[in-house]
């Protein structure tokens, strides 16, 4: 069974899921209603926005780049959407109405998506056409976008987005939140796209060996740009979802999410160097993070300690996860040896 | 390091790690291009002194260094780790936690401290030790446990920040002995100016320059420094040359930890207090400064002088934008735009280098594929 | 003194290593005398690399002992191996590309003054001098990424020598070297041999083994076949020992060059500094070889044709239609496929499954609406090629990097063949591939040509060209220097080698290959 | 060539952006060209700790106060970063402003800057939070600790009304525990609650992040029996928490079975609206816009060399009046009254939440 270490590898490739299981067990022991249906839904609910974002981040990472601009996109698009939809209100302090266009959500949502894609396109072009450093470009983009969000909103919140708009973020089908269903669908779609479409192939090829990809007739620049456009689109989708759930825009929305998405991706086995990792891996990372956040909310932890504990758990998860590398090395050696045996 | 990551960004063909030979025109040109960051610094200085007449005063210029001291120390630490192709995102929290620990050690129980009321010197030594320990821990996890350096340090960042909140708990601690504040807040000298008034030279400003000099000497003129580059450039080859990459990596994390502790010392000394949020959200700016300065995110490239330039540039932007009285609502946008602009000019440099393939390195690497493929 | 003369520098006895499911080495014995150049041959997977890994301390043997220079080891660490004076020069050069030549040479031991500060001036001087001793002309200030493959190989070998190694393992050192460099290398190896340094020389180029080695050890399936003094065995015998049965040299059924209309036509191709007035025609079903030294313009020509490099002036037509491709995708679209020399860098995406690697070039044809790949169709095609080219892989999903060299090359072939090209340009198609796989590759080539594809082979292995091609063009200094039609009486290896060297015969270069070819 | 054109194009675009930033419409600042601190014109430097929610209001208040007097008010934003705030005060000093007004990011860390200002002879004022451990000219604040207490008392009353005795479970949505605003608002609340052992407090930190308000509410309310929620900031919280409750089907108006009591500090417009609609119960409203306006009077009088005296200050129709000025060891302290807003006084026009800009 273990002869060629396939089973071992099978397990190792999915180790993160076992880690996840461990964490779940831990929390269900430490808290009462952790495993209650409603709470499981909560977990998925929190996994939704982060999940959508992480898809974008993971795809950009797979192409061998970073996207730090996503959280800026969220700030800007949430503010912009509220600003376009809400009726004009004489600006009471700290709280603004819209610009007065009162656009219908069906107009606003496409605008958001287009803008998101556009931001991604700009990132992509700057990085591929001009060979600008992806890290800095997207970081600068983040500053610009969030800054713009503040300029538009003057720091004020804009509450009361229309119900139609909120459906994605806040609506429910039976007991299941729409956002959860939507997120799962998006994950399915992209998992399929990455494994079964031309783009998916190009993404992995470009991410793991750019020269070979180019020599196979691919166009790395185009692929990377597309990756960024998807990143932007996902950010836009996430903005829609988030704003729909909160029903109020706030220029500080999305602060600090970049780290979370990158963390989720990497925990899920997406390599920062590109080319390795899967959407489902990223999904497992997202789940792990949201399980931890949720569990800590249910546990009676000293509020001062919450973040510390959170970090600790992630650290432990990584520690377990990391052990596979050693074992893997051995398995790979064997497989190679097998090949050699087979060859001779 | 994936081949494309290199071709991605211009600045990674940054300043050379070896002494430049100025033998012919090309080399001089190359030298300028390689140190483009300094051109940026000058341009920024000129622009802002045109826009704001309070900008180009000796005191203000010195103060830029003074304000960037803590950031600068973090950049040094980060550059060390980045040269070996690692990240240390926990640095910002290390800075916070060490400062807080020192404060707790010195403050009386009445002021929310631990009531030990240690002498500043002792406190400083301890905080540096703690910094080193954190670095050691990071390094060990990453080298011995094969944990991904990025995500590990992110987790550590959370842990340490949490610890800072929990230790304080949540409160700031202030009013330290003069000796403790000397490095961060003290002044070294007052030089009377012809224009009247004094040129005040803060200790921190001088210390920053010294620190960068030392760091530069280490990375260029010590074996350890060269081993760092070797490990970052090609870990396997370094191993083959008998360099113990694990030792080197652990060492750079320790250094990064100590630098973060020093940053904490500077910050706490300057503010005369340690807050639970000390250092929060600095890390990306730190990395940005390093990268603008030509330190590669993927190891083996860049030098500390360049990184210093990066720090200066950031400081100038910060000061300049504030002094131009740009509305706070607009300031972030401007900062981002300027950053983008710097990157853009840098990109121009690379495309120029490739056109006139002065350096075979560029002719060889397959950027060309990408261009034609479009 | 006396016994140290007779005492072998390296003695490996009864080395065995079992990986789960495979006996990688069983009771291997190897003994190398000081100043001996010891050939180590065997097909891929015969256990050469495992044995070397044991010697390098990378793998701990299950049983057996090693005696290096009188010191006995049962197992050792890489550090110990280095310390004992064992150095390894891998086939794929492993240098710090972003650092200078000097730093690569002195890595880990930069000269320092008494305060421990690195002395750069001395470092560069020292490095330069060391290279000088080897007769190696390299700019020590240059970054390695700026060096050519050949230069990098030489640098890597020199590095091993600088680390005061007593026993140097050369793994396919000549794979990417032009003849003059090979001669320089061999000359150098011999000079060291006289100083008592021993070499283990791993190569698939048997003629080189005959040229340089004193003794040769043959492995098969992890077992020792035998160790022979070089002058007591010939090529045929060696191959027999490696393969286990007689394989006569491959001979493709030659087509007559005149039949079949021209497919690929180059007219007055000029790219200054690379090649000038190149005119050549490849006809349907014809296999044309290009031989020449590194930098003779052949590889530049091939790269330019495929759009990996600027093309320069001149007219190219495929089947009469003007050929205008400026990048690989256009090239493939216009019917020209190229098998790159470095399959690791340009050929394969190692991390991805065989299936994907094979279909990269034809995705568009496989894609339905919205670029969705029709998977079953894909699997079909892949299965075809796996079967047709006899690729040995446990499944289509196997990561390409885990295949043996020969099978990897076959995958690249499949990738190209899948595009159903009119013209196929092969660059060193059998580099670093074992004898068996080579025969397979030749088989594939001839089948493809029978399918009517015009094939252009650039190779440094003359016997290979003689075996496969209808015509052999020799390029020298950017020009087509001479043409040989296979079957003509004057088409002998010697003449071709002479032409490659530019006709002006310098004894050493002309003679040494002869020896090997006669053998 | 094409490439070059594109480069130029982007170059143009970027320089435009830059221009935009340089001459950004800065409602608060004079154009950089003329020296900020000229003899005739009074310049005040204002340092905000951040710009979202109530802080934006306070800044606007200061700006309007200054503009009424024809001053130039230079504004900066420290983004929660004490060191950054110190930098910005340095800039003020090098600009030679006539007075510095700051909402300290950190009440203790500010003191080093205070010292600098003293050395430079520039008067120093703080709003919303007094410094701890150093003396300044004046602080205008409405007691955050008091605000917390008010919300706590309201909550206790509501719980008593519900159960006949003070008991139940309350979720406390905390701000950033690293900032003493959150500490004061939490402290005031918990000090009151200490006296009622039967009231269980579940505290969750949110770092003022709307997402975290939502998540904590979702997680806790769906798994625990929650009677009430106390928010350290109803500007950030109200809408978010209510929508979270709605999604849980627990958004029930006052008086009906299963209504969850909602109290908070700030008194933002939407909080008041929620009170009107019957979903929220109490808000401790601070006269944020008035801070700056009131302070500007005292700055003016000090510039004119008048002394600030202790005693009570009254202003017609202002909710904060009567206020008291007392001399604390951190300088003069003007405490503006905090109003506990309930359904009874929610329509009071003087509430800042009801005022238009």
- The pLDDT tens digits of the residues spanning B323-359 come to 777 788 888 888 888 778 877 877 776 666 655 543 3
The Cα of C243 is separated from the nearest Cα of chain B by a number of Å equal to 33
Give the closest residue to C185 by CA, choosing from C96, C193, C81, C36: C193
Is B334's Cβ below 8 Å from some Cβ in A?
yes
* Tokens linked to A100: 């007065």
pLDDT digits (tens, 9 = 90+) for A22-66: 999 999 998 888 998 889 999 999 999 999 999 999 999 999 999
Max alpha carbon distance in chain C (Å)? 80
β-bridge pairing C262-271 and C313-318:
antiparallel
Q: Under an 8 A CB cutoff, do C402 and A340 touch?
A: no
- Give the pLDDT confidence score for residue D22 in this predicted structure: 45
Q: Establish if D328 belongs to a structural domain.
A: yes
Where residue C447 falls among pLDDT bands split at 50, 70, 90?
confident
pLDDT of D12 > 50? The answer is: no
In a domain, residue D169? The reply is yes
Q: Among the listed ranges B142-151, C108-117, C153-162, D104-113, which one has the minimum average pLDDT value? A: C153-162
D45 and D82 housed in the same domain? yes
Residues 6+ apart with CB under 8 A from B25: none
Q: Above 0.90 for ipTM, yes or no? A: no
What's residue B236's pLDDT? 83
Report CB contact under 8 Å: B2, A273.
Answer: yes
pLDDT of residue B92: 95
* Total residue count of chain A as it appears in this document: 344
Q: How many Cβ atoms sit within 10 Å of the Cβ of residue B202?
A: 23
Cβ–Cβ contact A140 with D under 8 A = no
Q: Number of residue pairs across B and C with CB atoms under 8 Å? A: 101
- Rounded CA-CA distance A258/B287 in Å is 15
Please indicate, yes or no, if residue D10 is contained in any of the structural domains. Answer: no
Contact C345 A212 (CB under 8 A): yes
Beta C336-339 vs D72-77: how paired, if at all? unpaired
Q: Answer whether residue C507 shows pLDDT above 60.
A: no
B19, B243, B361 ranked by CB distance to C145: nearest: B361
Q: With 80 as the cut, is the pLDDT of residue D245 above it?
A: yes
Q: Which two tokens stand for residue D181?
A: 């605003």
| A39-48, C318-327, C413-422, D11-20: range with lowest mean pLDDT | D11-20
What's the CATH number of domain C2-243, 3.40.50.2300, 3.30.70.1050, 3.30.43.10, 3.40.50.300? 3.40.50.300
Instruction: Report the pLDDT value the prediction gives residue B156, as an integer from 0 to 100.
Output: 94
d(CA D97, CA D73) in angstroms, rounded, equals 9
In the predicted structure, residue B226 carries a pLDDT above the cut 60: yes
Q: Which residue has the higher pLDDT, D344 or C312?
A: D344
Q: What is the mean pLDDT of residues C344-372?
A: 84
How does DSSP assign A166-218, residue by residue? HHHHH-EETTEEHHHHHHHHHHHHHHHHHHHBHHHHHHHHHHH-HHHHHHTT-
**Shortest CA distance from D90: residue in chain B:** B63
pLDDT above 70: residue D6: no
d(CA A94, CA D266): 10
Name which of A89-93, C210-214, C417-421 the model is least confident about.
A89-93
For residues B171-192, give the mean pLDDT: 89
How much is the pLDDT for B27? 61
Task: Give helix then strand counts, H and E, for chain D.
Answer: 10, 14
Task: Give mean pLDDT, residues B115-120.
Answer: 91
Classified by CATH at the fold level, domain B57-332 comes out as ABC transporter involved in vitamin B12 uptake, BtuC (1.10.3470)
B272 Rama sector, left if φ>0, alpha if ψ -120 to 50, beta otherwise = left
pLDDT at A2: 42
Instruction: Give the distance from residue B140's alpha carbon to the nearest chain C alpha carbon, in angstroms.
Output: 21
In 10 A of CB A25, how many CB atoms? 12
Instruction: Point out the residue among B242, B361, B369 whose CB comes nearest to the CB of C146.
Output: B361
pLDDT at B191: 87
**Residue ranges making up the domain that contains D80:** 40-142+287-336
Please report, for residues B370, C255, C411, D160, the alpha-carbon distance to residue A214 in angstroms, rounded to integers and kept in the order given. 7, 34, 17, 73
Closest chain B residue to the Cα of A314, Cα to Cα: B155
Is residue D294 predicted with pLDDT exceeding 80?
A: yes
At which residue do the structure tokens 């052990």 appear? A323
Residue-wise DSSP of B327-348: -HHHHHHHHHHHHHHHHHHHHH
| pLDDT range class, residue B211, cuts 50, 70, 90 | very high
Q: Give span(s): CATH 3.40.50.300, chain C.
A: 2-243, 251-335+420-519
CA-CA distances (angstroms) from residue A196 to A62, A192, A226?
16, 6, 16
A139 token code pair: 């970081």
Q: Of the segments A231-245, B181-195, B225-239, C237-251, which one has the largest average pLDDT value?
A: A231-245
Instruction: Give the minimum alpha-carbon distance from A338 to chain C in angstroms, rounded to a whole number.
Output: 6
> What's the gap in Å between the CA of D321 and the closest CA on chain A?
20
DSSP per-residue codes, A255-282: TTHHHHHHHHHHHTT--TTSS---HHHH
d(CA C278, CA C265): 10
Answer CATH for C251-335+420-519 from 3.40.50.2000, 1.10.4100.10, 3.75.10.10, 3.40.50.300: 3.40.50.300
Candidates D61, D182, D211, D292: best to mutate against A (most CBs of A within 10 A) is D211
Structure confidence by residue, pLDDT tens digits, B235-290: 888 887 778 999 999 999 999 999 999 999 999 999 999 999 899 889 988 988 99
Q: What is the pLDDT of residue A288?
A: 93
Residue D333 contacts residue D315 (beta carbons within 8 Å) = no
Nearest to A56 by CA among A69, A41, A43, A75: A69
Q: Of all residues in chain D, what percent carry a pLDDT higher than 90? A: 45
Side-chain-side CA neighbours of B207 within 13 Å: the count stands at 26
Residue D341 lies in a domain: no
Phi, psi of D314, rounded to the nearest 5 degrees: -130, 145
Asked if D105 and D173 sit in the same domain, the reply is no
Give CA–CA dist B12/A26, Å, rounded: 45
Cross-strand pairs, C307: none
**Domain end call among D246, D267, D285:** D285
Q: Which of C103-117, C249-263, D48-62 has the lowest mean pLDDT?
A: C249-263
Write down the pTM of the prediction: 0.81
> What gap in Å lies between CA D343 and CA D355, rounded to an integer?
17
Helix (H/G/I), strand (E/B), else coil: B90: coil
Q: Are C152 and B50 in contact (CB under 8 A)?
A: no
pLDDT, residue B359, reads 39
φ, ψ of residue B360 in degrees (nearest 5) = -55, -35
Do D and A make contact via 3 or more CB pairs under 8 A? The reply is yes
Give the highest mean pLDDT range of C94-108, C504-518, D73-87, D147-161: D147-161
Longest dimension (CA), chain B: 70
Using the 8-state DSSP alphabet, how is residue D264 labeled?
E
On whether both D150 and D278 belong to a single domain, the answer is yes
* D52/A170 CB distance under 8 A: no
Phi-psi region of A39 (alpha: psi -120 to 50; beta: other; left: phi over 0): alpha
pLDDT of residue C257: 52
Query: CA-to-CA distance for C141 and C102, rounded, in angstroms?
Result: 7
Beta-carbon-side half-sphere exposure of residue C420 (alpha carbons within 13 Å): 3
DSSP 8-state assignment for residue D300 = H
Q: Quick one: what percent of chain C has pLDDT higher than 90? A: 16
Which of B247, B271, B246, B248 lies closest to B70 in space, CA to CA?
Answer: B271
Tokens linked to C511: 């003679």
pLDDT digits (tens, 9 = 90+) for C4-43: 456 888 989 989 988 765 677 888 899 999 889 999 988 6
Higher local confidence (pLDDT), C482 or B241: C482
Instruction: For residues D181 and D143, give the distance between their C-alpha atoms in angstroms, rounded to a whole number.
Output: 10
Report domain extents, chain A: 48-260
Task: Select the residue of B277, B319, B341 nearest D91 (Cβ to Cβ).
Answer: B319
Answer yes or no: is pLDDT of D70 > 60. Answer: yes
Residue A274: closest CA among A210, A229, A337: A210
Specify the pLDDT at position B361.
35
In chain A, the residue whose alpha carbon lies closest to the alpha carbon of C22 is A338
What DSSP state is assigned to residue D37? S
In 3-state terms, what secondary structure has residue C315?
Answer: strand
At residue D50, the pLDDT reads 84
Q: Which residues of B16-49 are buried (b: 16+ CB within 10 A; e: fewer)?
A: bbbeeeeeeeeeeebeebbbbbbebbeebbebbb
Q: Which residues does C408 contact at the CB level (< 8 Å), separation at least 6?
A: C343, C347, C348, C400, C401
How many of the other CB atoms lie within 10 Å of CB of C477?
13
C351 to chain A: which residues are within 8 Å by CB? 204, 208-209, 275-276
Q: Is residue D13 part of a domain?
A: no
Domain count along chain D: 2
- Report residues of chain A scoring pLDDT below 50: 1-3, 331-344
- Paired sense of beta strands A158-159 and A248-249, if any: antiparallel
Q: What is the number of CB-based contacts under 8 A between chain A and chain B? A: 210
Whether pLDDT at D112 is above 80: yes
pLDDT of residue B22: 34
pLDDT for the residue D150 = 92
Q: What is the mean pLDDT of chain B?
A: 82
Query: How close does chain B come to A98, measured CA to CA in Å?
Result: 18
Q: What is the mean pLDDT of residues C504-513?
A: 35
CATH number (domain holding residue D132): 3.40.50.2300
Catalogue the long-range contacts made by D313-319 (C-beta closer than 8 Å, 24 or more residues apart): D317/D350, D318/D287, D318/D290, D318/D350, D319/D285, D319/D287, D319/D348, D319/D350, D319/D351
Kindly tell me if the per-residue pLDDT of D100 is higher than 80.
Answer: yes
pLDDT tens for D202-234 read: 999 998 889 999 999 999 999 889 999 999 999
- Please, are residues B165 and A303 in contact by the beta-carbon 8 Å criterion? no
- Confidence bin at C236 (pLDDT 50/70/90): confident
Regarding whether D322 and D249 lie in a shared domain, the answer is no
Set of chain C residues whose Cβ sits within 8 Å of the Cβ of B301: 98
- Chain A nearest-CA distance from B62, in A, is 27
D119 and D172 share a domain? no
* DSSP for residue D308: P
Name residue, tokens 């750079």. Answer: B252
The partner residue sitting opposite B275, judged by closest CB among D90, D109, D133, is D109
Kindly report the average pLDDT of chain D as a whole number.
84
pLDDT at A181: 96
Tell whether the model's pLDDT for residue D21 goes beyond 70: no
In the predicted structure, residue D114 carries a pLDDT above the cut 60: yes
Strands B173-174 and B187-192: unpaired
User: Is it the case that residue D165 has pLDDT exceeding 60?
Assistant: yes
Least trusted range by pLDDT, from B35-44, C59-68, D16-25, D283-292: D16-25
SS3 C36: coil
Please give the share of chain B, as a percent, with pLDDT higher than 90: 44
Please say if the pLDDT value at position D35 is more than 60.
Answer: no
Q: Does the beta carbon of D14 lie under 8 angstroms from any beta carbon of chain A?
A: no
Which of B38-42, C46-50, D100-104, D327-331 comes out lowest in average pLDDT? C46-50
């Amino acid at each position: 069974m273990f002869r060629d270490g396939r089973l071992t590898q099978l397990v190792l490739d999915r180790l993160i899921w076992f880690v996840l299981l461990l964490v779940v067990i831990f929390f269900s022991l430490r808290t009462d209603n952790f495993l209650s249906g409603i709470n499981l839904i909560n977990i998925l609910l929190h996994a939704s926005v982060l999940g959508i974002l992480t898809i974008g981040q993971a795809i950009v990472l797979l192409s061998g780049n970073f996207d730090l601009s996503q959280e800026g996109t969220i700030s800007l698009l949430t503010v912009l959407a509220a600003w376009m939809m809400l009726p004009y209100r004489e600006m009471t302090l700290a709280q603004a109405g819209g610009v007065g266009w009162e656009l219908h959500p069906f107009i606003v949502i496409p605008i958001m998506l287009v803008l998101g894609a556009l931001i991604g396109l700009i990132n992509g072009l700057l990085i591929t056409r001009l060979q600008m450093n992806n890290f800095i470009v997207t970081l600068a983009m983040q500053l610009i976008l969030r800054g713009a969000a503040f300029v538009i909103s003057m720091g004020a919140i804009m509450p009361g987005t229309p119900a139609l708009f909120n459906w994605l973020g806040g609506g429910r089908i039976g007991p299941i939140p729409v956002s959860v269903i939507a997120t799962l669908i998006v994950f399915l779609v992209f998992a399929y796209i990455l494994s079964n479409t031309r783009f998916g192939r190009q993404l992995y090829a470009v991410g793991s060996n750019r020269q070979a990809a180019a020599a196979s007739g691919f166009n790395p620049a185009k692929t990377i740009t597309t990756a960024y456009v998807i990143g932007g689109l996902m950010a836009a989708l996430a903005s829609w979802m988030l704003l729909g759930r909160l029903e109020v825009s706030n220029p500080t929305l999305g602060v600090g999410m970049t780290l979370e998405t990158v963390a989720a991706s990497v925990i899920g086995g997406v390599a920062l160097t590109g080319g390795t990792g899967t959407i489902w891996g990223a999904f497992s990372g997202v789940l792990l993070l949201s399980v931890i956040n949720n569990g800590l909310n249910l546990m009676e932890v000293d509020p001062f300690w919450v973040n510390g504990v959170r970090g600790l758990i992630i650290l432990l998860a990584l520690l377990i996860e990391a052990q596979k590398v050693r074992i893997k090395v051995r398995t790979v050696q064997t497989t190679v040896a097998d090949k050699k045996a087979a060859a001779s | 390091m994936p081949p494309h990551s290199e071709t991605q960004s211009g600045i990674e063909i940054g300043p050379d790690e070896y002494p430049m030979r100025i033998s012919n025109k090309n080399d001089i040109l190359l030298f300028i291009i390689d140190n483009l960051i300094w051109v940026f610094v000058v341009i920024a200085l000129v622009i802002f002194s045109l826009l704001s007449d309070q900008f180009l005063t000796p005191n203000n210029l010195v103060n830029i260094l003074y304000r960037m001291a803590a950031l600068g120390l973090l950049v040094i630490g980060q550059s060390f780790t980045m040269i070996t192709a690692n990240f240390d995102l926990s640095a910002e929290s290390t800075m916070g936690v060490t400062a807080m620990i020192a404060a707790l050690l010195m403050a009386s129980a009445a002021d929310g401290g631990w009531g030990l009321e240690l002498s500043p010197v002792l406190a400083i030594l301890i905080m540096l030790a703690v910094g080193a320990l954190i670095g050691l821990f990071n390094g060990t996890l990453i080298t011995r446990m094969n944990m991904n350096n990025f995500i590990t340090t992110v987790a550590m960042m959370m842990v340490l920040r949490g610890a800072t909140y929990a230790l304080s708990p949540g409160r700031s601690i202030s009013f330290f002995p003069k000796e403790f504040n000397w490095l961060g807040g003290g002044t070294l000298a007052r030089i009377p100016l012809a224009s009247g008034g004094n040129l005040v030279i803060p200790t921190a400003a001088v210390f920053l320059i010294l620190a960068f000099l030392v760091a530069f000497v280490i990375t260029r003129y010590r074996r350890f420094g060269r081993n760092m580059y070797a490990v970052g450039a090609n870990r396997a080859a370094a191993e083959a040359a008998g360099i113990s990459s694990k030792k080197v990596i652990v060492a750079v994390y320790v250094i990064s930890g100590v630098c973060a502790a020093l940053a904490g010392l500077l910050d706490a000394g300057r503010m005369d207090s340690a807050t639970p949020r000390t250092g929060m959200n600095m890390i990306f700016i730190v990395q940005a400064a390093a990268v603008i300065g030509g330190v590669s995110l993927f190891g083996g490239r860049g030098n500390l002088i360049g990184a210093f330039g990066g720090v200066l540039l950031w400081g100038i932007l910060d000061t300049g934008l504030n002094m131009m009285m740009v509305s706070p609502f607009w300031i972030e946008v401007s900062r981002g735009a300027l950053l983008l602009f710097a990157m853009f000019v840098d990109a121009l440099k690379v495309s120029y280098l490739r056109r006139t393939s002065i350096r075979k390195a560029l002719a060889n690497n397959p950027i060309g594929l990408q261009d034609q493929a479009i | 003194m006396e016994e140290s003369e007779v005492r072998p520098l390296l003695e490996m006895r009864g080395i065995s290593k079992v990986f789960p499911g495979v006996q990688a080495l069983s009771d291997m014995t190897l003994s190398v005398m000081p100043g001996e150049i010891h050939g180590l041959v065997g097909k891929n997977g015969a256990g050469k690399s495992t044995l070397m890994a044991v010697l390098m301390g990378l793998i701990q043997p299950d049983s057996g002992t090693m005696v290096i220079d009188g010191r006995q080891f049962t197992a050792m660490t890489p550090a110990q191996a280095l310390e004992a004076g064992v150095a390894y020069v891998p086939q794929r050069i492993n240098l710090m590309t972003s650092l200078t030549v000097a730093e690569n040479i002195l890595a880990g031991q930069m000269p320092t003054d008494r305060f421990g500060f690195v002395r750069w001036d001395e470092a560069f001087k020292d490095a330069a001098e060391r290279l000088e001793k080897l007769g190696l002309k390299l700019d020590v200030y240059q970054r390695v990424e700026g060096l050519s493959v050949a230069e990098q190989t030489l640098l890597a070998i020199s590095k091993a020598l600088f680390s005061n190694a007593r026993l140097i393992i050369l793994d396919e050192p000549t794979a990417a070297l032009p003849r003059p460099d090979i001669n320089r290398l061999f000359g150098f190896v011999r000079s060291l041999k006289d100083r008592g340094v021993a070499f283990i020389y791993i190569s698939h180029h048997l003629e080189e083994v005959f040229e340089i080695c004193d003794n040769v050890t043959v492995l098969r399936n992890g077992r020792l076949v035998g160790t022979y003094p070089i002058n007591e065995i010939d090529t045929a015998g060696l191959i027999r020992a490696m393969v286990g049965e007689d394989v006569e040299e491959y001979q493709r059924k030659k087509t007559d060059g005149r039949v079949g209309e021209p497919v690929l036509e180059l007219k007055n191709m000029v790219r200054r500094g690379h090649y000038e007035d190149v005119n050549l025609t490849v006809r349907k079903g014809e296999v044309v070889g290009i031989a020449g030294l590194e930098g003779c313009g052949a590889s530049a020509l091939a790269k330019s044709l495929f759009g990996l490099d600027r093309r320069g002036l001149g007219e190219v037509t495929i089947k009469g239609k003007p050929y205008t491709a400026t990048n690989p995708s256009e090239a493939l679209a216009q019917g020209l496929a190229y098998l790159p020399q470095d399959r690791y860098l340009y050929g394969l995406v190692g991390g991805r499954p065989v299936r994907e690697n094979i279909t990269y070039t034809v995705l568009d044809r496989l894609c339905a609406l919205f670029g969705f790949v029709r998977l079953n169709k894909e699997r079909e095609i892949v299965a075809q090629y796996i079967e047709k080219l006899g690729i040995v892989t446990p499944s289509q999903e196997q990561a390409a990097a885990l295949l043996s060299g020969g099978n990897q090359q076959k995958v690249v072939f499949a990738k190209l063949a899948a595009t159903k090209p009119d013209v196929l340009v092969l660059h060193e198609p059998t580099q670093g591939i074992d004898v068996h796989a080579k025969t397979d590759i030749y088989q594939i080539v001839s089948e493809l040509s029978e399918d009517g594809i015009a094939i252009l082979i650039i190779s440094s292995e003359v016997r290979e060209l003689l075996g496969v091609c209808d015509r052999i063009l020799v390029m020298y200094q950017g020009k087509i220097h001479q043409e040989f039609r296979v079957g003509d009486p004057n088409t002998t290896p010697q003449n071709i080698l002479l032409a490659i060297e530019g006709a002006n015969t310098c004894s050493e270069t002309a003679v040494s290959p002869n020896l090997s070819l006669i053998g | 060539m094409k490439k070059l054109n594109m480069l130029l194009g982007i170059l143009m675009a970027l320089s435009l952006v830059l221009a935009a930033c340089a001459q950004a419409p800065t409602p608060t600042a004079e154009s950089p060209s003329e020296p900020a601190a000229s003899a005739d014109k009074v310049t005040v430097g204002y340092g905000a700790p951040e710009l979202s929610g109530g802080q934006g209001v306070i800044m606007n208040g200061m700006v309007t106060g200054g503009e009424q007097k024809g001053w130039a008010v230079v504004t900066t934003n420290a983004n929660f970063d004490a060191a950054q705030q110190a930098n910005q005060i340095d800039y003020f000093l090098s600009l030679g402003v006539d007075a510095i007004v700051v909402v300290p990011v950190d009440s203790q860390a500010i003191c080093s800057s205070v010292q600098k200002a003293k050395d430079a002879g520039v008067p120093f004022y703080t709003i919303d939070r007094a410094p701890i451990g150093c003396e300044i000219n004046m602080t205008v604040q409405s007691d955050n600790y008091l605000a917390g207490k008010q919300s706590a008392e309201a909550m206790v009353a509501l719980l008593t009304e519900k159960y006949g005795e003070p008991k139940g479970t309350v979720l406390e949505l905390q701000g950033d525990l690293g900032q003493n605003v959150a500490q004061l608002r939490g402290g005031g609340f918990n000090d009151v609650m200490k006296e009622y052992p039967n009231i269980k407090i579940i505290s969750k930190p949110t770092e003022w992040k709307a997402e975290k308000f939502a998540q904590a509410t979702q997680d806790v309310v769906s798994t625990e029996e929650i009677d009430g929620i106390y928010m350290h900031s109803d500007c950030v919280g109200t809408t978010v928490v209510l929508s979270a409750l709605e999604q849980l089907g627990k958004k029930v108006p006052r008086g009906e079975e299963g209504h969850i009591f909602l109290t908070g500090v700030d008194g933002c417009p939407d909080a008041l609206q929620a009170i009107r609609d019957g979903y929220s119960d109490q808000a401790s409203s601070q006269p944020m816009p008035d801070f700056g306006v009131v302070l500007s009077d005292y700055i003016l009088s000090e510039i004119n060399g008048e002394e600030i005296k202790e005693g009570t200050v009254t202003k017609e129709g202002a909710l904060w009046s009567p206020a008291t000025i007392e001399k604390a060891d951190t300088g003069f302290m003007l405490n503006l009254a905090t109003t506990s807003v309930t359904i009874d006084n929610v329509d009071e026009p003087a509430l800042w939440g009801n005022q238009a800009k």
